[in-house]
Amino acid sequence: MARPGPYTFQVWKFPLEIRDGRQSVSLPGGSRPLSVANQHGRLVLWAAVRMASATGGVFQKNPFYEERFFHVVRTGVDLPEECVRPDEFASGPVRIKFLGTAMFAEGRAVFHVFEEAEPDGW
């Protein structure tokens, strides 16, 4: 059954680099990151992507992309200051949301992923 309204959503996959630090990913506008995991030895992000609806019920890809920022932090490495501020007490223009943990090398390498967003971005 089709969802009423002008939009529908699909889950898409986006690669992240397996390294400590801040990195950017180009996501379709209005996307909502859902989770991260190890898939076949690669760190990937899954997001609900808003699809634009054309007239007549034909759905097309959302043409608008935006740069989003993520922090990837290995277990045992200091977290960036932004990652340890609880959302409800965050000050300044940037807030961080924990997305998940992914394990590699049979659990010997574990990475935690946080998303950086403007306070009104969620």
pLDDT score for 122: 45
Q: Closest Cα to residue 14, out of 68, 53, 62, 94? A: 68
Residues of the chain with pLDDT under 70: 1-6, 52-63, 83-94, 118-122
> CA-CA distance, 103 to 122, in Å (whole number)?
27
pLDDT score for 85: 60
Boundaries of every domain in the chain: 7-121
Query: Which tokens go with 64?
Result: 């608008």
pLDDT score for 3: 52
Output the pTM of the full model. Answer: 0.77
| pLDDT tens digits, one per residue of 105-121 | 999 999 999 998 755 55
Residue pair 51/8 in contact (Cβ under 8 Å)? The answer is yes
pLDDT score for 92: 58
Phi then psi for residue 112, to 5 deg, are: -115, 135
Residue pair 21/43 in contact (Cβ under 8 Å)? The answer is no
**DSSP secondary structure string for all residues of 44-104:** EEEEEEEEEEPGGG-EE----EEEEEEEEEETTSPPPGGGGS-GGG--SS-EEEEEEEEEE
